[in-house]
Every structure is written in structure tokens, then in C-alpha cells.
Amino acid sequence: MKPIITTDDRTIERVEEKYLISRSEKSALLKNIRKYLEKDEYYKESVLSLYLDTKHSDLANRSIDRPPFREKIRVRAYNVPAESSPVFFEVKAKLAFRYQKIGNKRRLILPLKDFYRYLETGKNLEKTVKTFSKNDRQQLQVARELDYLMKYHALEPKVLISADRTAFVGKDNPAFRLTFDENLRFRTTNLRLEKGTKGEKFFKKSEPQNIIMEVKTLDAMPLWFVRELSAFKIYPDRFSKYGKIYQLITERKTHV
């Protein structure tokens, strides 16, 4: 299976790995590999993700169980959006393939107000969104898939997660993307994205490994990167932001 990415960036398939690292590890690693990187177009930004799930959080539970194939439905915004701002309404699937994790993301770009209208009216997504051409077969297919998943699972907003992201791409390989998510926050009420990034901090001050480093690439990881990971003894971590936060919320409820 060779990962691919479409030219319009609406359907993405790539190899993905996550690592949980400390601030000192981030600083030391970047010092060694910075010469291979350049700032991404969106170098520093806030990332807001609204996750949708069933009444009983079945998608979160499935993510925690880590089956070979799993999906998440979310709305993502980069920096705090206005209701007229474009957001990504997407289904993200992950497949464990041999020794690789293949991520596939299919998404629509639509104004945030159109997403809210869709939630409120319950109408078909392709009839609610006015901003893409009905002749665009790919977008229609993604809209119908999202609409089916929303209605079949009776999905509703569950958790809003935000983080401060720093992003790089490979200087000689733009398909290699390296991101660092810090100050992970979440909230389970007031779930409108335009309300900002405020929320409860996920990591405690006593937890030094509190930065999520994620690598996304279309091919094998560069040798210079693998070499540095080995030198710093940094290994992949099974970290799902939504899954971990759901676990935390569930544990609190059981102790009430």
C-alpha cells in the first residue's frame, strides 16, 4: 500500500506516528534536525478540534481498544474561527498495516455556520452546504459519507480539544511534516469553536512528557530523523488525544 495525497488536499492518505516527549527533548531534537527543516505555511497556530460521537461514546471506546481499523469524526479549525470562517468537517480513519499506521482523512471545507445549520436542521449535508459545486463528485461523495456516518451513529458534539501547534516540513521533502502540539486543553461544555481555546489542561505539571510530536509522511521516514530518534531514545507512543481525554472524563465519573 503506497500512501497518496490528492492535489486538492481533500483526501489524504499517509504514514503517521506519534511520540510523547518533554520540552527538553523537543529543544535538543530540534537543535540537531533544524537544518533539515523549514517552517510550514502554518508555522505557529492554535488547532481546535470538535469531536463528534454517539450518546455512549462508542467511537472513543473503539479508539481506546485500538482495533486494526478505526474512525473519528471531527470538525477542525486553525486558529479561533468566526462563524463565517472555513473549517474542515472530516472523517479520519486509521489502519494498522503491517508495521505502519496508515492515516486516511476525507474532508469537506465549509463555513462554520453551515456546519451549525446542518446540526440544527438534520437535513442532508449536501443540501445544507451551499459553498461547493454540485458537479464536484469528490466533495459530494465525502458529503454523503459524512452524512451517512452522522445519521447512522446519531453523532453529536462531545469534546472540544485545542493545542498550540508548531509545524515544520522537510526542506528537501515537503511531504515530510513534523508537528509539536503543546498546552493540550479540552472542554465538554460550550462546544462552539468560535468561543476559543479555553479549557482544562490535560497534562499535569508533574508530567514532563507533555508535548505530542507527530510525524506525517508519504514514504519511509528520512534516515536523519530515524537516527536522531534512536540517539535520543524517543519511541512511538499510542496516544489518541480524544481517547485519552475520554478515559480521563470516564475515570472522574467513576470516582464521584
pLDDT (tens, 9 = 90+) of the chain, 256 residues, equals 233 333 344 555 578 899 999 999 999 999 999 999 999 988 999 999 999 999 999 998 887 776 667 789 999 999 999 999 999 999 988 766 655 666 678 899 999 999 999 999 988 888 877 766 667 788 888 999 999 999 999 999 999 999 999 999 999 988 899 999 999 999 999 999 999 999 999 998 889 999 999 999 887 889 999 999 999 999 998 888 898 898 888 888 776 5
**What's the pLDDT at 97?**
60
Q: How confident is the prediction for the chain on average, in pLDDT?
A: 87
- 193 dihedral zone (left: phi>0; alpha: psi -120 to 50; beta): alpha
Q: Which domains does the chain have, with CATH numbers?
A: 11-254 (3.20.100.30)
Confirm whether pTM is higher than 0.85.
yes
- Whether the CB-CB separation of 120 and 106 falls below 8 Å is answered with no
Cβ atoms within 10 Å, residue 183 = 16
**Tens-place pLDDT, residues 214-232:** 999 887 889 999 999 999 9
**Tens-place pLDDT, residues 102-111:** 667 889 999 9
